[in-house]
Amino acid sequence: MTDTVLNHRAEGPSSAPPLLLGPSLGTSYALWDKVAPELSITHRVVRWDLPGHGGSAAGLIGPGATVGELADLVIGLADTLGIERFAYAGVSLGGAVGLELAVRHPERVTSLAVICSSAHFNGAKAWEKRAALVRSEGLSGLAESADARWFTPGFTVPGLVRDHRDADPGAYAACCDALAAFDLREHLAQIRVPTLLVAGREDPATPPAHLREIADAVPGAGLVEIPGASHLAPAERPEAVLTALRAHFGGDAASGMRVRREVLGDAHVDRAQARQTAFTAQFQDFISRYAWGEIWTDPTLTRRERSMITLTALVAHGHYDELAMHVRAALRNGLTAEEIGAVLMQTAVYCGVPAANSAFATAQRVLAEETDGTS
């Protein structure tokens, strides 16, 4: 802890692109425990604590604080670490800090993700009342209701609830002051950095309509709604949040999804996306980033050549459902029926006649469907 710089934790290669992660009111940087280690594979991740929360000194802000002052503290942290420009993601109050950064310091922010947050927080009255309560009675009583405000019924993260209870009451109240005064709606159109909004579909504090309002006002912004997530989505649905952030900050996933659609077709990819769950989200992200974002985008081989290699590998391992999908992809990549047949003849020599026999049956069915227009 220092009296001048926000407490923080840095992870990932020092040479990687910087990504700063902001917390929600009442939590610490532990809010990102299930997300930050994965993001640190490709980024220099720096997650920070609000004043009076976690390891940050309470005296960094005082009564009447503003979100702008918190944004200045983040800039100070970046300066201390030698970070000139950075991507940023934040939850709730941390998301408001991100919006403030994008408006007031656009030259410092490369891209932005705002999670379970708002451009305003339903007016000043409730926050003024909460600040007064905390200043007079402390945080123990308020911490008792944290689960109901933060998570869907039956879910909890005891460490985060403990962070809430242990926060400094004066600094917490000053953060409430900042939320009471915050309203950035008239300035959202000024934001020009690539922006993603992530909403928890079950969030009572900042429901999806709040994120949709920002998405509609920020030019080119995208919106993702996460089913089964309440206010602290990175803790409750980390896989889904990770998938969204990787696609937004990573580049490989975004370009990979484009190539995946070009090769496999929109209908197939849309079906795969519709079937995605929290359990399969990380695998779907892996496919988009690695298979399609790195391998299929490598210009060393043409897509025709990659299709021929893929057909052979699928026959060799007997993956005939995947083979059917990639016969369609091969046609889309420019192979003729005759060339596909020639590839399967090659597999008869090197993978075995029974495997090639099954492959020809699969390919013949697909080619007939494509000819009839029934696929």
pLDDT tens-digit profile of 87-114?
999 999 999 999 999 999 999 999 999 9
Residue range 113-137, pLDDT digits in tens: 999 999 999 999 999 999 999 999 9
- pLDDT, residue 287, reads 82
Whether residue 181 is predicted with pLDDT greater than 60 in this model: the reply is yes
Whether residue 232 is predicted with pLDDT greater than 70 in this model: the reply is yes
When pLDDT is cut at 50, 70 and 90, the band that residue 273 belongs to is: confident
Whether residue 375 is predicted with pLDDT greater than 70 in this model: the reply is no
Largest CA distance in the chain: 82
- pLDDT, residue 349, reads 97
pTM score of the predicted model: 0.70
Residue range 311-359, pLDDT digits in tens: 999 999 999 999 999 999 999 999 999 999 999 999 999 999 999 999 9
Give percent above pLDDT 90 in the chain.
81
- pLDDT, residue 137, reads 97
Whether residue 257 is predicted with pLDDT greater than 90 in this model: the reply is no
